[in-house]
């Protein structure tokens, strides 16, 4: 009985987790594009807000991915994505 319950719970939760992960990845890409635009426009307030949002989304994605019942290949893709975009976050700077 416990085995059947675990299968039902995993199958009902997994699609939502995958969708949340994909949504966060898309949001992170969008935020990075916004930061680049704000840097070109020298819009400091937008840069600061976007950097904060980017950091927050990266942390949330990390937490979500670490607790998600995903396979090793998917996990590796997400960790590579996180590593790449944390690196982008570190390289982006707020103008003085």
The pTM for the full model equals 0.78
In 3D space, the residue among 43, 79, 36 whose CA is nearest the CA of residue 61 turns out to be 79
Q: What is the pLDDT of residue 66?
A: 87
CA distances in angstroms from 12 to 6, 15, 17, listed in the order given: 10, 7, 10
pLDDT tens-place string over residues 31-88: 999 999 999 999 999 999 999 999 999 999 999 988 888 888 888 999 999 999 999 9
Whether 15 shows a pLDDT value over 80: the answer reads: no
Q: What integer pLDDT is reported at residue 67 of this predicted model?
A: 83
Q: Where exactly are the structural domains of the chain?
A: 15-91
**pLDDT confidence bin for 14, thresholds 50/70/90:** low
């Amino acid at each position: 009985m416990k085995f059947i319950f675990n299968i039902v719970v995993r199958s009902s939760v997994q699609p939502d987790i995958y969708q949340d992960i994909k949504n966060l990845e898309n949001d992170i890409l969008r935020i990075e594009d916004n930061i680049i635009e704000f840097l070109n426009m020298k819009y400091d307030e937008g840069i600061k807000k976007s950097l904060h949002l980017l950091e927050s989304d990266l942390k949330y994605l990390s937490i979500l991915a670490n607790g998600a019942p995903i396979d090793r290949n998917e996990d590796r893709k997400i960790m590579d994505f996180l590593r790449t975009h944390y690196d982008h976050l570190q390289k982006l700077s707020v103008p003085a």
